[in-house]
Amino acid sequence: MVCAFIVIITLCVLLQWLYKINEEYYILSFCARRVRAKDDRSVESIAPIPKGRTIFANCFDLYGKDGVGIFQYHRRLAREMGSSYLIYSLGAPIYSIIDPVNAEFVLNNASLITKGALYDFIQPALRYGMLTSTGKKWHTRRKMITPTFHFNILGQFVEIFKAESQKFLKLVESQPESIISLSELIPRFTLNNICETAMGINLDELTEKGDRYRESIKMIERCFVKRLCNPLLHNNTMYKLLAASEDAPFLKVVHEFSSDIIAKRRVLLKAELDERRKHQSPDDDIYINKKRRFAMLDTLICAEKDGLIDHDGICEEVDTLMFGGFDTTSMSLIFTLLNLSLYEDMQELCCQEISEYIDDPSDLDITQLSNLKYLDRFIKETIRMFPPVPFIGRQTLSETELPNGLILPARTQIIMHIFDIHRNPKYWDSPEEFDPDRFLPENSMKRQTYAYIPFSAGQRNCIGQKYAMLETKTLLIFILKRFKILPITDPKELVLFNGITLCVKNNIKVKLTQTSLVRSFNVFKMVCASIVIIAACVLLYWLYKINEEYYILAFFARRVRAKHGQSLESIVSVPKGRTIFANCFDLFGKDDAGVFQYSRRLAREMGSSYLIYSLGTPIYSIIDPVNAEFVLNNASLITKGAIYDFMQPALRTGLLTSTGKKWHTRRKMITPTFHFNILGQFMEIFKAESQKFVRRFENQEESVISISEHIPRFTLNSICETAMGINLDELTEKGDRYRESIKMIEKCFVKRISNPLYYNNTMYKLLAASEDAPFLKMVHEFSSDIIAKRRVLLKAELDERRKNQSPDDDIYINKKRRFAMLDTLICAEKDGLIDHDGICEEVDTLMFGGFDTTSMSLIFTLLNLSLYEDMQELCYQEIAEYIDDPSDLDITQLSNLKYLDRFVKETIRMFPPVPIMSRQTLNETELPNGLILPAGTQISMHIFDIHRNPKYWDSPEEFDPDRFLPENSMKRHTYAYIPFSAGQRNCIGQKYAMMEIKTLVIYILKRFKILPITDPDEFILHSGITLCVKNNIKVKLVLRK
C-alpha cells in the first residue's frame, strides 16, 4: 500500500513537471525548444504547424521516403499550408519559408549566415569549403575567391565556353538528325568548363576520371537523401558507425579527382609563372595577364604561399567549386534545352534574336550577350520553374525575432524553399505556366525582389551566377545557330526529386535537327519526288525477281535450297528474326549472357538443327550428331567459319584459325608433340603444379577457395612449362596480367558478335579496335617473352647435348627429359619450315587453348565433385584403391580410374569448354538431309546443345557419369559427344587435357573432401571464345583425417 501510494505521487509529480516543461520544450519531438510568438499571440496564428505522421511531431515524416517522396512531401506542405510553416523534428524546430518577405529578412540578416544542420550531410563530400563554412573562415575565403569571378575575368572564359560548345556540336553535327541524352552530355560539358576555367585544367586527358567523378557525385546525392530520410543517420557519429563505409568509395573518387586537378595545376602554374618572370619587368604583376584566362585555383595556390590558406583548404574550395560549377549549371542547361524543345514559338523567337545580333558564334564576346534580352528572359523563366538548388538552409545561433512576430530559439533550422517561393501564387500570376515575358521590366517592377532568388541573395549569394548565365547562353547560341530542337521527353512524365540539387529521374532527351538541312530538304523533295517514285517502282520489281535467289532483307544472303524442289521448311526450321531484316539484328545489344541464352532458346524452340539468315550469309546451326558427323568428316569443310575472324587479332592465323596448306603443314608439325609417349613426360610437371596447388591449403583444416581464380593460374603454369618449356614462377605477375587480358579479349569477341557494325574487319578497326589494343598488346608481349626465354634455354640445352651425345643421336629427342612443343617450332624455323611470326601464332593459339578450355573443365569438375557427395566418394575410393602416393603417379595408372574418367566426361558433356564450333562452305554443298548450302554458308555446330539433345541423351539435364558405361554408350551416336571436336580438325590436346584434369583431381581428393559453396541454381553461363560463367565459383576444401 505504501509503495503504491509513493508510485502514484511520483507519477503525479512527473506528469506535472512534464506538463510545465512541455510549455517550453516539445517533449515528444525529443525536447525541441518551442518557437514563441510576440505579444503572447498563438504561434499557429502566424505559422501553421502541420500534423506529423506519428505522435513524435514531424520527426519521422520523411522516414522511408526516397528523393521523390521528400520532394513531394515539401510540395504538399507548401500547397496545404499556403504560407511559411513550422515543423518540429528531432530536437529542433524547423521554420520552412515559402514567401519572399521572410526570405529577405533571413538572407539579409548578418547574424543568420550560419548554414543549417542539413549541410552537415554534405560535409563528407565538400568538406568545410565556402558552401558549408561560416564565421571568419567563410569571410576570408569569400573575400579571396570572389574577385576570380569578376566581370573582366569572366570575359576571358568565353573562349573556353566557345571551344567546349564547339566540341559539343561535333558530337552531333555529322548527322542531319540526332536524338541526344541531355542527362548524359550536359554534365560532361559543364564539368569540362568548370575545370578548364576555374581550375585551369583541360579534361581531355582525364575523360574516364571525369566520368567516374560525375557518377560518384550522383551516388553522393543519394547518400545525402539517405541521411535526410533516416533519423538514425542525422547524427554524424551514428552515420559513421552505420553507413559511412558504404559511401566511402564514392567520396574517395571525388577527393582523388580534385587532388589530381590540384596537383596537375600546381605543375602547370609553376611553369607559367617561371615563363612570365622571364618576359615581364619587376613592376608587373605576374599573377595577372590579360592575354590568358585566369584560373580560380591559381589564386588559391598563390594564397597558399602567402600563408592565407593551406593545402586542405585548397582541396575544400576545389571540391566545392567543382560541384557547384558543374552540377547546378547542368540542371539549368538541361531544363532550358528541354523547354526550348517544348515551346517551339519561343524557340523561334530566341533563334531570330540570335540571328539578329550574332553572325558567327566563333566571334562571340561577352558584350554581345547583353543584347539577347529574350534569351535572357527565357533562361530566367526556366530557372524560376526549375531552380537548380530547390532549398537553402540557415540556423539561428541565438534567439531571433522575425518581422511577422515569431521568436525563434537558438538552433532553429530555417529552410527557404526556393522552388515554392518561385511558384507562390501570391507573387506570381499562373505560376505553373511557362512565360518568359513575366521578366519584362514592366512586369517585374512591382514584384517583391526576393520572389526570384535562384542564386540565393544577401551576403551568401552565389558568386558564380554570372558565370553560369554566360556558360548557359554560349552553348544555347551555338546549338540554336545550327539546330532546331524538337521534343522527345514528355514533360508530364518528369519525376523531380530532391538531392543536394534539384534532380530528375528521367533520362531527358531531345532531337536536334540541322536547320539548313530542313530548308534544303523542302526544295529537294519537290524536285525529286517524281524521280523517286519511278525509281522505286523499278527497284521493287528488280528486288522481287532477285529475292527468289537472294534474301534481300538479310543484306542479300544467298538462299539455301532443298533437293528435288522440296520446301525448305520441310527439312529445316527457320526462326523469325527480331526485325524485318531476318536474323541480322537478333544479337544486337545483347551481352555475353544474352548471346548464350539466345542460342539455347532457339535450340529448345526449334527442336532440331535450324537455319538463320544474317548479314549477307545463311547460317546453318547444327544441334544433332548426324549433321555434325557429316560436316566434321568432310574434307572440303575444314575451313573455319567467319566468326573465327573475330579471334584473329588475338590468336592470329595459327592452328585454330588457319586453313588449307598452312593448316595441314602446322598440324603435321605440332601433332607429334602431343604423342602419348611425349605426354608421359609431362606427368612430372602436372604433379609438381598439383603439389603446389594443394600446398596452399593443406595447413588449414578448412579453406574456402575461389576456383575461378586459382584454376586458371594452375592451367597456365602447366601449359607454359610443358608445351613451352618455361617455368612461370618468375613471371607470375605477367601471367596474371595475361589471364586478365584474355578475359577482356573474350569480352571484345562477344562485343563483335553482338554488334553487326563490327563484323567487317575494316569497320572494327575504325570504330573499336583501339579499345581492345591494350589487351592484345599484353597477350602478344607475354607470348613473345615466352618465346625469347625459350630460345635462350633451348640453345643452352642443345649445346650441352652436343657435348655428351654421339653423332648418331638425335639431339632433338631425349627420353630422359620432357619435350616442349615450342622446341619443335624453333627447330623447324632453322629448317625454314616456319618463321618467327608463325611461331608467335602457334604459341598464342596453344597457350590460350591449353589454359582457358582446360580451366573451365577443371572448374566445373571440382564444382560437380562438391555438389554430388556420393559420387565424390566413389571417385575417392577408386583413387585410394589404385593410387597409394600421388607423387609416384604415372600415365598408365590413370587408365585404371574408370569412374573418375566417366565423372570428368559427364562434366564436360554438360559444360563443354568450347560450346560452339564453326565451318564455312567454299563451294555449294549438299547435306545428307537434302539441304543444298551455297558457297559462303556458315555452319555452326552447337556442342552445348548436341550434348543435351534429348533425342540422344536420356534426361540430359541430369548429372549421371554412368551414362558413359560401355553398355550405355554402345547404341549412342558416336558424334553425340564431341567436346574436343572430331574428324581432321579435332583437338590435338584432348589427351593432354584429360591427363592434367585427372592429375589435379587425384591430388585434391587424396588430401581433401570438397564441399559446395556456390549454388548451381545461381549460375549465369555466358558465351565467350569458350564457355564462361559470370559467377565467382567457390568450394570448401576440408582436410581429410
Residues of the binding site for heme: 987
Q: Is the dihedral of CA 864, 866, 871, 874 positive or negative?
A: positive
What are the distances in angstroms from CA 639 to CA 493, 677, 842?
55, 30, 17
Q: Are 856 and 705 in contact (CB under 8 A)?
A: no
> Per residue in 975-987, is it b (16+ CB within 10 Å) or e — as a string?
bbbbbbbbbebeb
Torsion over CA of 591, 596, 597 and 598, rounded to 10 degrees?
Answer: 90
CA distance 903 to 963: 10
Q: How far apart are CA 485 and CA 489, in angstroms?
A: 12
Phi and psi at residue 480, in whole multiples of 5°?
A: -70, -20
Binding residues: 987
**Beta strand residue intervals within 39-144, DSSP E:** 85-89, 92-97
What is the grid cell recorded at 395? Answer: 540556423
The C-alpha cell that represents 937 in the structure block: 554458308
- What is the longest distance spanned by two Cα atoms in the chain? 122
Q: 425-429 contacts: CB < 8 A, separation 24 or more?
A: 426/99, 427/99, 427/100, 427/451, 428/384
Query: 498 and 228 in contact (C-beta within 8 Å)?
Result: yes
Burial class (CB in 10 A: 0-12, 13-18, 19+), 59: buried
Decide: 172 and 178 in contact? Cβ < 8 Å: yes
Find, among 495, 498, 526, the residue nearest to 415 by Cα. 498
Secondary structure class of 180 (helix, strand, coil) = strand
DSSP-derived letter for residue 818 is -
CB 664 within 8 Å of CB 658:
no
Residue by residue, DSSP assigns 297-337 as HHHHHHHHHTTSS-HHHHHHHHHHHHHIIIIIHHHHHHHHH
How many Cβ atoms from other residues are within 10 Å of residue 177's Cβ? 14
The residue to which cell 505553373 is assigned: 432
Cell 602446322 found at? 666
Helix (H, G, I), strand (E, B) or coil at 401: strand
> For residue 738, which of 778, 708, 770 has the smallest C-alpha distance?
778
DSSP string, 700-762: SSEEEEEHHHHHHHHHHHHHHHHTS---GGGGHHHHHHHHHHHHHHHHHHHHHHT-GGGTSHH
Displacement of CA 650 from its chain's centroid (Å): 24
- Residue 486: other Cβ atoms inside 10 A: 16
Give the C-alpha separation, 843 to 432, whole Å. 70
Torsion angle in degrees (nearest 10) through CA of 317, 319, 324, 325: 90
